[in-house]
């Protein structure tokens, strides 16, 4: 079987009532066959928390409040979350479990969740950034694909709204809807200065590794890294054989295992790999993939990881995705392989002022609309539908969810 992933826009059947995925503009070619590997989650140290009586919920101060769900919170992720914004980032599936359990209380969501497409899954203000594409150009887009899949697209917008309001309580939801609808319809939208600066920075840095992470022909070690055993090293070498874009003269220079503590992917296994790719240094990351967090609200069966990731990359970046992306089996687990170019610049809201951040988040809503426009049938009709939802309904839904995360964070901490 051909092991290099072909980036395709997949058309899915059985997405449920009202759900439809349209093929992207480019032709569908070489549909990747799944390998049948099992997908699983890690079993980290956890903190069990029972669903509290509804009377204790802070969300009842002004509203009925959301019904909580029984959920097991990972202790390391909880310790790493400094505030409700980062708490929401760390527990993506908890958000969607709450959505599923409280559909009747969510006015805007229940009015719009009959329209399905391809969701990015974890839309929040710091999951966007600039990625270098195969032709060397730079694109501002969603840069996290782990929790993606087929689901009601309104939930992506809802998660972006909620996270934005947790970050800045003065976020104007109507402006996000306006920007999102413009992206859906392919309309022009003013790019904020900080985003334009990121694109220029990306072009200047290019495809070389980050000099802070590579010294000569060696990866710079930190306290989270471990040396690979011979078995692990052999597995990495085997997986590299399936990566596209590599030179016939490629040499493995260095490799380590590592993990991230916070965020939605905290605790998952990663490998950092440094290659001599025909005379040019190339830094790759292997990242363990598990069941995407949209599973509680998925619109039909979630494809296996190779198909899911290839579709997400195509939806987020169009046809220009770097050839160095891929998904390969490593020791019975799927691992997402991506280039770590110095020119891949992530978004950090701490680096801008409040006004710039408002503009950036609105532009992210616009980009989210562009992404959804590649999968939703009748994007113009969907844009009108989402704009016709009363602003008070969006306010209701976001207020309920932000209060839930504020209360839960306070309870756990």
Residue pLDDT, tens place only, 117-148: 999 999 999 999 999 999 999 999 999 999 99
Mean pLDDT across 204-221: 97
Residue 216's beta-bridge partner residues? none
Q: Check the CA dihedral 242-248-254-260 and report its sign.
A: negative
Please give the order of strands across the beta sheet that includes 345-346: 138-142, 128-132, 345-346
136/324 Cα distance (integer angstroms): 12
For residues 409 and 393, give the distance between their C-alpha atoms in angstroms, rounded to a whole number: 24
Is 263 a residue whose pLDDT tops 80?
A: no
Query: Which of 46, 40, 42 lies closest to 76 in space, CA to CA?
Result: 46
pLDDT confidence bin for 266, thresholds 50/70/90: low
What would the mean pLDDT of 328-336 be, rounded to a whole number?
A: 95
Q: How many domains does the chain have?
A: 1
Q: Which DSSP symbol is given to 169?
A: T
Stated pTM of the model: 0.85
Burial of 41 (0-12, 13-18, 19+ CB in 10 A): exposed
Q: What percent of the chain has pLDDT over 70?
A: 83
CB-based contacts of 79: which residues, under 8 Å, 6+ apart?
A: 261
Spatial separation of the C-alpha atoms in residues 120 and 315, rounded to whole Å: 9
Helix (H, G, I), strand (E, B) or coil at 270: strand
What's the burial of 257, exposed, middle or buried (CB within 10 Å: 0-12/13-18/19+)? middle
* Dist. CA 165–CA 280, nearest whole Å: 43
* Contact criterion met (CB below 8 Å) for 353 and 222: no
Q: Domain of 154?
A: 1-413
Residues 93 and 70: their CA atoms lie apart, in Å, by 12
pLDDT digits (tens, 9 = 90+) for 173-208: 999 999 999 999 999 999 999 999 999 999 999 999
């Amino acid at each position: 079987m051909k092991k290099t992933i072909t980036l395709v826009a997949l058309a899915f059947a059985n997405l449920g009532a009202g759900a439809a995925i349209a093929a992207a503009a480019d032709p569908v070619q070489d549909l990747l066959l799944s390998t049948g590997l099992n997908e699983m989650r890690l079993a980290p140290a956890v903190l069990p928390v029972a669903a509290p009586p509804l009377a204790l919920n802070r969300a009842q101060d002004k509203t009925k409040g959301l019904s909580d769900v029984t959920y097991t919170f990972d202790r390391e992720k909880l310790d790493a979350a400094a505030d409700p914004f980062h708490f929401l980032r760390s527990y993506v599936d908890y958000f969607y479990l709450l959505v599923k359990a409280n559909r009747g209380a969510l006015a805007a969501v229940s009015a719009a969740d009959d329209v399905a497409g391809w969701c990015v899954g974890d839309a929040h203000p710091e999951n966007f950034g600039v990625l270098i594409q195969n032709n060397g150009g730079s694109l501002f887009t969603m840069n996290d694909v782990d929790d993606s899949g087929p689901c009601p697209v309104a939930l992506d917008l809802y998660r972006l709204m909620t996270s934005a309001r947790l970050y800045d309580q003065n976020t104007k939801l109507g402006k996000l809807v306006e920007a999102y609808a413009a992206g859906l319809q392919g309309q022009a939208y003013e790019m904020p200065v900080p985003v334009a600066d990121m694109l220029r920075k990306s072009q200047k840095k290019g495809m070389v590794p980050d000099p802070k992470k590579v010294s000569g022909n060696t990866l710079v070690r930190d306290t989270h890294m471990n040396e690979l055993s011979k078995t692990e090293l052999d597995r990495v070498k085997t997986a590299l054989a399936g990566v596209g874009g590599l030179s016939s003269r490629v040499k493995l220079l260095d490799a380590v295992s590592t993990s991230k503590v916070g965020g939605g992917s905290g605790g998952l296994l990663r490998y950092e790999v440094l290659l001599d790719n025909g005379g040019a240094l190339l830094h790759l990351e292997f990242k363990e993939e598990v069941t995407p967090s949209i599973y509680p609200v998925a619109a039909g069966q979630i494809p296996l990881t190779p198909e899911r990731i290839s579709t997400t990359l195509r939806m987020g970046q169009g046809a220009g995705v770097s050839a160095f992306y891929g998904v390969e089996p490593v020791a019975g687990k799927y691992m997402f392989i991506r280039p770590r170019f110095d020119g891949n610049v992530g978004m950090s809201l701490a680096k801008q002022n409040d006004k710039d951040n408002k503009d950036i988040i609105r532009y992210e809503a616009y980009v989210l609309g562009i992404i959804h426009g590649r999968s939703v049938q009748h994007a113009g009709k969907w844009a009108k539908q989402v704009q016709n939802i009363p602003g008070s309904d969006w306010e209701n839904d976001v207020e309920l969810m932000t209060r839930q995360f504020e209360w839960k964070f306070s309870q756990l901490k």
